[in-house]
Chains A and B, each alone.
Chain A
Amino acid sequence: MPQFGSGLTLFLSLMVEAMPFLIFGVLVSGILLLFIDEQRLIAKFPKNPLLGALSGSLFGFLFPVCECGNVPVARRLLIQGASAPVAIGFLLAAPTINPVVIWATWSAFPDQPEIVVLRVVFSFAIATIVGWVFSWQADLKPFLQPNIAALMPPSPGSSTAESPEPTGLLKSGTYFLDQPGNPVALEAANLDAVLAIASPQRKSLWDKLPLLLENTIQELREMGGVLVLGSLLATIIQVSVPRNIILAIGQGPVTSVFAMVILGGVISICSTVDAFFALSFASTFTSGALLAFLVFGPMFDLKSMGLLLMVFKPRAVFYIFAIVFQLTLVFTLIINLWIS
């Protein structure tokens, strides 16, 4: 029974500590989605592929979304004519390179600032590299699901500067909205009609508040549920797996990295709170392994894979996975084998 007692304390402490950060992330991203005009921002992105990837990776500072929110936003960016490096840089970096996540990581590791700094540096480097790699594919359409490709403005890559007038209806905040009480599939054929009604840019502040409440509750339900499951899994591993097994895996410079990358890919915990999850492994796992979890998890996990497949074809999702996976391994193994 002592296992149950300490397991419960562990589980509740993870939940109670993570809850404010979860709420904060949901609120800030909800507010920005409803109030920022993305289209004007997209026009400002640099056209150079490398600079595009760089600025796309930093775009998360304006849209602090975790990995549940970044796919819909990246999809909107693509449809509105953002170039591939911008959209993919954003897709991979936004869940990590944003103020809420950096703050949460800092809170979880106050004694290990290197974890915070390296998490940001590695995520930023990987997102930029992958975004840049994808810029070699001049036309991204073969990589996208047909319904998304059909919505993109013609000749992508070069069209960032011309603001795409014909689809002036695609404003921010539309992805979680539909007609009241009447679900309408978001398809090319009826897209304009659907979004014309739901576009929050045309609504007054007073009208937007109920939408914000709605968005907040839905996101809290989704991410809160995953947080409960993730905390539960962390707790079960902590109290039930014998210490010598955990140590044997966690103290090996290579095994620990692989174990944490797999864990990060499986548990799909929201990036706003995954630092607290990693914290419960901090005393038994190498720093490289914790970093691998914190870098890889937000970029690619089971949940985000499902979301990515709604935008990209399986082939492209596999490319993203393979590059991100290998870069994570390289960076974190360098830390484990040569630096720490």
Chain B
Amino acid sequence: MTAKRLRTKLFPYLPEGLVTLALGLWGTLILHYWRSGKLGLLIHPNYYGLTLAAGYFLLMLTVLQILKLWRRRLPMRAQHLSLLSPPVMSSIMLVAALIGLLVTPRPFTSQTAIQRGLQDTTLVTRARPQAFRTTSNPEKRTLLEWIRTLDVYPEPDAYAGQKVNVDGFVVYPEDLPDNYFTLTRFVISCCAADAYPVGLPVKLEGNRKTYAVDSWQAIQGEMMTETLNGQRQLVIQAKALKPIPEPDNPYYY
């Protein structure tokens, strides 16, 4: 068979091959994230099951489609209404899946925390905490539990002198003096798209440059009230800082 004849023979299968490959790669990508533990970076654990099922379903669809093409059955011509031509759509999905497979997603950094409004205290819209559960022992509160406690009773003096034991990553806010950084965590309720930062200012003995931006720190200290930018607020007076590795799952829920 000449190359030309082969090409004319195979050409009708090209659009079908493309979409099969694209769906197969998306299934692979989802399972890959699951196995490498990266799924937690992207979505809330509540949706792991659903997303995994989608991954397996896509692979099953791919196998069925390959079986169909193997038997040289071209699909019925569809009277489908589409925006762009089917091969273009398949290629778009294909490229997106390839990028996902080749580039490992990274957790959000301090730059995103600032972009997402770590410093804004006066937003009209703000994700509101739903459940209010907190331990009575201040030392056991996580950063998020501190923020939720503050939401309920915002008077900083009420917490003065309480012991603090929290971890998070370092953000340098532009509006704080250089012996402060903000210890930050992201909270998600559905997926990384809704991640919003929570954080508390940490007062250091020396310059914050000792603690690199985005480095993870476990902090022990005491709560105190400070006036920063003309606003009285709760601040952690750091007694001990210990660098810790970035957790596998950096979010609070």
Asked whether B159 is an interface residue with its Cβ less than 8 Å from the other chain, the reply is no
Check A222 against B82 for contact (C-beta < 8 Å): yes
Knowing A19-B54, A23-B57, A221-B86 touch, does A283 contact B123 (C-beta < 8 A)? yes
CB proximity to A under 8 Å, residues B45-98: 47, 50-51, 53-54, 57-58, 61, 64-65, 68, 74-84, 86, 88-90, 92-93, 96
User: Which B residues are CB-close (under 8 A) to A186?
Assistant: 79
Report if A13-B42 is in contact (Cβ < 8 Å); known contacts: A213-B68, A228-B93, A279-B194: yes
- Cα A72 to Cα B191 in complex, Å, equals 33
Point out the residue from B54, B86, B105 that lies within 8 Å of A20, measured CB to CB.
B54
Query: Which residues from A are CB-within-8-Å of B26?
Result: 19, 224
Confirm or deny: B196 has a beta carbon within 8 angstroms of a beta carbon on chain A. yes
Q: Which residues of the partner chain A approach B33 to less than 8 Å between Cβ atoms? A: 16
| Chain B residue contacts of A279, Cβ below 8 A | 190-191, 193-194
Chain B residues within an 8 Å CB radius of A210:
68
Chain B nearest CB: distance from A337 CB in Å?
12
In the complex with contacts A9-B41, A16-B51, A217-B65 CB distance below 8 A: yes
Q: Is B220 an interface residue (CB 8 A)?
A: no
Task: Please measure, in the bound complex, the distance between the C-alpha atom of A257 and the C-alpha atom of B89, giving whole angstroms.
Answer: 30
- B125-133, B134-142, B176-184, B199-207 - interface stretch: B125-133
**In the assembled complex, which residues on chain B have CB atoms less than 8 Å from the CB atom of A222?**
80, 82-83, 86, 89
B residues near A285, Cβ cutoff 8 Å: 125
A175 at the interface (CB under 8 A from B): yes
Chain B nearest CB, measured from A178 CB (Å): 5
CB–CB A10/B193 < 8 A = yes
A181 and B74 form a contact (CB under 8 A): yes
A73 CB to nearest chain B CB (Å): 12
CB interface residues, A 100-152, toward B, < 8 Å: 107-111
Give complex CA distance A19, B78 in Å: 23
Interface centre among B20, B96, B100, B107 (most CB of A within 10 A): B96
Assess whether A280 is in contact with B194, with CB atoms less than 8 Å apart: yes
The residues of B that contact A110 with a CB separation of less than 8 Å are 130, 189-190
Minimum CB–CB distance for A242 against chain B, Å: 9
Q: How far is the CA of A256 from the CA of B112 in the complex (A)?
A: 22
Query: Is the pair A182, B77 in contact by a Cβ cutoff of 8 Å?
Result: yes
Whether B76 and A303, one on each chain, are in contact in the complex, defined by CB atoms closer than 8 angstroms, is: no
Category for how many chain B residues contact A: 35 or more
A93 contacts chain B at the CB level, 8 A cutoff:
no
Pairwise interchain contact B192-A10, C-beta atoms closer than 8 A = yes
In the complex, which range does the number of interface residues on chain A fall in? 35 or more
Most chain A CB neighbours (cut-off 10 Å) among B50, B109, B112, B193: B193
Quick one: which of A11-51 are within 8 Å of B by CB? 11-17, 19-20, 23
Nearest B residue (CB) for A6: B112
Q: Is A158 an interface residue (CB 8 A)?
A: no
- A161 at the A/B interface (Cβ < 8 Å)? no
B90, A221: Cβ atoms under 8 Å?
A: yes
Please determine whether B125 and A276 come into contact, CB atoms closer than 8 angstroms.
Answer: no
CB under 8 Å from chain B, chain A span 208-244 = 210-211, 213-214, 216-218, 220-222, 224-226, 228-229, 232, 234, 238-239, 243
> In chain B, residues 210-224, which have Cβ atoms closer than 8 Å to a Cβ of chain A?
none
Q: How far apart sit A234 and B120, CA to CA, in the bound complex (Å)?
A: 22
| B117 CB contact (under 8 Å) in A3, A177, A283, A307 | A283
**A178 contact from B74, B76, B103, B114, Cβ within 8 A:** B76
* Complex contacts, B54 vs chain A, CB 8 Å: 19-20, 23
Contact of B193 among A14, A19, A175, A218 (CB under 8 A): A14
CB nearest to B27 among chain A residues: A19
Q: Does A287 make an interface contact (CB < 8 A)? A: yes
A180 touches B (CB below 8 Å): yes
CB of A251 closer than 8 Å to a CB of B: yes
- A8 and B126 within 8 A (CB): no
List chain B residues, Cβ under 8 A from A15: 96, 100
Residue A166, interface by CB 8 Å: no
Which residue on chain A has the smallest CB distance to residue B91? Answer: A225
In the assembly, what is the distance between CA of A217 and CA of B74, in Å? 13
| A-chain residues with CB within 8 Å of residue B65 when the two chains form the complex | 213, 217
Q: Interface readout for B15-37 with A: 1 if CB under 8 Å, 0 if not?
A: 00001101100100010010000
Residue pairs across A and B with Cβ atoms less than 8 A apart, 7 shown, are A8-B99, A16-B42, A107-B47, A111-B127, A268-B83, A276-B191, A284-B117
Which A residues have a C-beta under 8 Å from some C-beta of B?
2-3, 5-6, 8-17, 19-20, 23, 68, 71-72, 107-111, 175-183, 186, 210-211, 213-214, 216-218, 220-222, 224-226, 228-229, 232, 234, 238-239, 243, 247, 250-251, 268, 276, 279-280, 282-287, 303, 306-307, 310
Query: What 6 A-B pairs are tightest by C-beta distance, nearest first?
Result: A225-B89, A13-B192, A20-B54, A13-B42, A17-B191, A280-B193
Given A15-B96, A179-B76, A283-B123, 4 more pairs with CB closer than 8 A = A6-B106, A17-B190, A224-B26, A225-B92
Q: Which residues in B have some Cβ–Cβ distance to A below 8 Å?
A: 19-20, 22-23, 26, 30, 33, 39, 41-43, 47, 50-51, 53-54, 57-58, 61, 64-65, 68, 74-84, 86, 88-90, 92-93, 96, 99-100, 103, 105-109, 111-112, 114-117, 120, 123-128, 130, 189-194, 196
